[in-house]
Amino acid sequence: MKGANRIYLARVQAAAAIAVGLLVLGASATQGQPREPLIFEHFALDAGLDDYIVYSAARDARGFLWVGTQKGLNRFDGARFHSFSLSVEGEPRAMTAREVVLDTAVLGGVWVATASQGLRRYAPDTRQLSPYTHASHGLASDTVTALLSDASGTLWVGTRSAGLSRLRPDANRFDSVSAALPARHVTALALGSAWPDLLWVGTNQGLALLDARTGETVALSEDRSSLVYRTAISAITEVAGQIWIATRNGTLFSADPETGRLRQFEHPDIDGRRGAISSLSASSLWPHVLWAGTRRGGVIALDTKTGDVSTYSSTLTHNDVLAVHEDGEGLLWVGTVLGLNKARLVPPRFAPDPSDAMLRERAPAVLTLHEPTSNPDVILLSLARDGLHVYDRVTQRRRSADIEGLPNLIFTLHEDGRGHLWIGGRSTSLYRWDRTTNQLDAFSLTEGRPTDIRHIYESPRHPGTLWIATSRLGLIEFDAERTQILRRYDSAGDAAQALSTDDLWRVHTVPTDRDGLWIATRGGGLNRLDLPTGTVAHWSATDHPTCVPGNDLPAIASTPDGALWLGSTDGGIARFDSTGQTCERFTPAHGLSHVDAVSLLPDPLGRLWIGSSNGLTLFDPGARSFTTFSHEDGLQGDIFTVSAHQLTARGAMLLGGTDGFNQFYPDRIAVDETPPRVAITSLYVDGESYPLQETADGYAPVELAHTQRDIAVEFAALDLRQPGKNRYAVWLEGAEPAWRQLGTQASARYPVAPFGRHTLHVRGTNRDGIWSSEAASLPIIIRPPAWQTWWFWTLAALAVLGVVVAGYQYRIQQLVRVERTRRRIADDLHDDIGSKVSNVALRLDLAGRNPALPEGDRSHLADLAQTARTVVDDLRDAVWIVDAGHDDLAAVVTRMEQFADSMTRGRRLRFTRPDALPPVPLTMDARRHLYLLFKESIHNAVRHGGADTVEVHVAYENTRFQLTVQDDGVGFDLATVRRGRGLETMRRRAEALGGTLNVESTPGAGTTVRFETALG
């Protein structure tokens, strides 16, 4: 034991220099404690937490908050809680998550200590809770009470009845630590940076110190009478190099970094007055602050350097605190017996004016304000229904201006070069107040019903001329020196010089436009008054939706680069370009906090501060970034008024609204430029939860069937400070052409996602509108149905091709069989029937030559012989038509020439045809109709026309076939024989061939037959 003591003393001496360095570093860090009071936000069952009783809370490296409750483990992403139940059927409290350890080197993941079921480890890759019980991994007990992970990757586990165990990174089983402990019930474990090899062990009967490498006990001091050796230890932690130990009777002890001796911290607010100390947590924001949770006194903040103690309990859900945790974002998480609490420790970026409370008591709305250049220590305020007031910055008091004659509703204040204050409100007059003499002068603008004077503007180029925008009188040009109206501009009169409406909001000039006065109207869009000519140009949201965000334009301003900006009540803001070439419009989809922009105030950096009914938005046109601030950031409220804004001569901004006003310097308002991490937290397919598997590179691909096309995802940007401000954009690559802005909606759904391979990309912003540098990406594969796959269509194409080939082959075989049949029929007709009929004709000729027969009989036999020869000729034609060897145009034309030659013997025949005809195939019916049409034409010319000369002309060009038969016969009257059977038959054959037939004939002048059709 003495050797162990020497080891300890040597380490203490070596750590002294480290501790001194920490003290010096702490002295230069942020001093003090959190502001009073802490305002806690509450989370319970209605927020998604699975139980009221919260035992532990810790933030992991990714940004998730893990919460251990009586029923299980919860993960909070800022948008929602995801619960992982640890309950066992029949034993509802057996799996209480007493303690949570995050991201240990032992297998990684989240480790959860349970009441009687050992350890549970949450693995990010499978999103499952794996058991580490006595039976499966040799844990000394299944009732785990304390957890600790050291730098070497060893997991230390304290149990209720079996002492201390550890799980080394190279092992899969626990081994028991055999050191002598005050008791077997371990309640707390800690390692200090000053003593990295010393393990502090708290039990229900006192404190022990172990050598973390050997497991041997190390003596603390010679004084064993201290309460720390005899009292149950509830929590141990390190603050600024010191180990702090809390006991269950409410006493705090610290270990001196130089001597290692323990000393009790005495303070009336601690020392058991607020009950047992349940938990300790070191502050990362204030290096010397120790957070302590008590069982009946809320949360205590102890400045370990000064000894100052602050208590926080008034806004907690309950003063019985079980867990305290401060994360790296300056958030304090407090678990109680009545839910989880969150407080932001960083002071608000905007400090509301100290007189806000007084303003809210009397008249909450600040209509307009002004800091006089002659006296910057005061601010002039116009309060709704309460006239003009003076706020003194030095005394932080507000008083009424006590000016008789002013209207109660004042909308605009303007200070001219002489220090006179011009005042406009709901009145018939314009007012001028001399602050030095307190004299008030009124100048009548109208008679009868009063008007709202909304804006008084003096152009830098034309000092002494006031431009007055009213609610019903249009625009008034007023000479401030001579105090007279120079001219009125309204919607009546000449169209070229008329305003679009008489209801005006504001007037403005742009440095780059020397001759123009820009007028923002209420309902009439934007007007430009050309000062040299008096003509007015109009732009409306209907005609120029990109350039003019709406026709109701309460805000107009220009940035130092000369750009003109417009703010509308329902369409966001727009960068206006009168040419329409470079207009740009921004809406809530781009990051605006609301559709309305009631005020625009540029700062010297070229940024725009946009007041709306939903907070204040800072817009950087160069970076295209939007940062929205609300009452949570210290603003007077979330609703700003139209005319209550000013950039003072000292560079400060004044902004007023319904709950007071703020004054700040824009370059001192910090914007968090740290991009958040974005996580896809849940996937739902067809309305059912679908498992996600995380990998080192993101998420494993999700493969779905063709029936699983309804996809919904939930995601979160892990900035938990003001998660309601985080905005999101999604892109389902392969299904959407570009990113889709979701605003603050932390989910997306695709009811009918297309088939194929897609990747869902999700981006998010932190509370200040800074987008994540990397998107969370989830590959999604939706397999198409079988009938939409390439292999299905390949097989289908092959099947169709097979059917086509089979059909083609069958058709060829049929054609071959038909051709063979036709040839056989032709041969039979020619060889059998034809020869027999020819033989009959021959015998009839011989019989008719018998001189013994009477003349009448011989004549009769000659007629019969001629009829038989005619039958033979017709039979030959039939054989030729049937014969498949002649199924082309050339064969038909040759047959036509042969027939014409035989029919015109003894007459003149001129038959012209192309030298070579292409191999145009013809069906048997086509050959038959074409040949018989020609045959009928020749018959008519020779037999009926008695022609001496017959001319036949055949032509074929570009698939067009032409046939002309012309004779010099007797001709005929077409009117008489039009209905003849021969011509009618020829016309039907021409129609069957899809051609046209034209017959020309005159009695005594011959006949011409023309036929034309498409062949080939």
Tens of pLDDT, residues 882-900: 666 667 888 888 888 888 8
The predicted structure's pLDDT at residue 834: 52
**Residue 303 Cα distances to 26, 575, 788, angstroms:** 11, 51, 70
Burial class (CB in 10 A: 0-12, 13-18, 19+), 119: buried
With beta carbons less than 8 A apart as the criterion, state whether 142 and 175 touch. no
Q: Which residues, in sequence order, are bridge partners of residue 539? A: 526
Q: Which residues contact 663 (CB under 8 A, 6 or more apart)?
A: 353, 379, 652, 653, 654
Rounded to 5°, angle at Cα 555 from 550 and 557: 115
Give the tokens for residue 784: 């198409």
Give the tokens for residue 214: 């050997």
Residues lower than pLDDT 70 in the chain: 1-36, 86-107, 220-227, 257-260, 352-364, 815-816, 818-849, 857-858, 861, 863, 865-866, 868-886, 977-981, 1016
For the sheet with 949-957, list strands across it: 908-912, 949-957, 960-967, 1007-1014, 996-1001
Give percent of the chain above pLDDT 90. 44
Tens of pLDDT, residues 712-761: 999 999 999 999 999 999 999 999 999 999 989 999 999 999 999 999 99
Rounded to 5°, angle at Cα 673 from 667 and 675: 165
The single-letter DSSP state of residue 88 is B
Give percent of the chain above pLDDT 70. 85
Mean pLDDT score of the chain = 84
Tens of pLDDT, residues 827-847: 555 555 655 556 666 666 666
The predicted structure's pLDDT at residue 732: 96
pTM exceeds 0.85 for this model: no
For residue 496, which phi and psi values (nearest 5 degrees)?
-70, -25
The single-letter DSSP state of residue 63 is S
Pairwise CA distance, residues 793 & 826, whole Å: 48
The torsion of the CA quartet 167, 168, 173, 178, rounded to 10 degrees, works out to -60
* E strand segments, 77-227: 81-85, 99-102, 110-113, 119-123, 128-132, 144-149, 155-159, 164-167, 175-176, 186-191, 198-203, 206-211, 217-218
Query: How many other CB atoms sit within 10 Å of the CB of residue 364?
Result: 17
With beta carbons less than 8 A apart as the criterion, state whether 290 and 325 touch. no
Long-range CB contacts (within 8 A, 24+) of 463-471? 463/416, 463/417, 464/416, 464/417, 466/414, 466/416, 466/422, 466/430, 467/507, 467/517, 468/424, 468/430, 469/504, 469/505, 469/506, 469/507, 469/519, 470/445, 470/502, 470/504, 471/502, 471/503, 471/504, 471/522
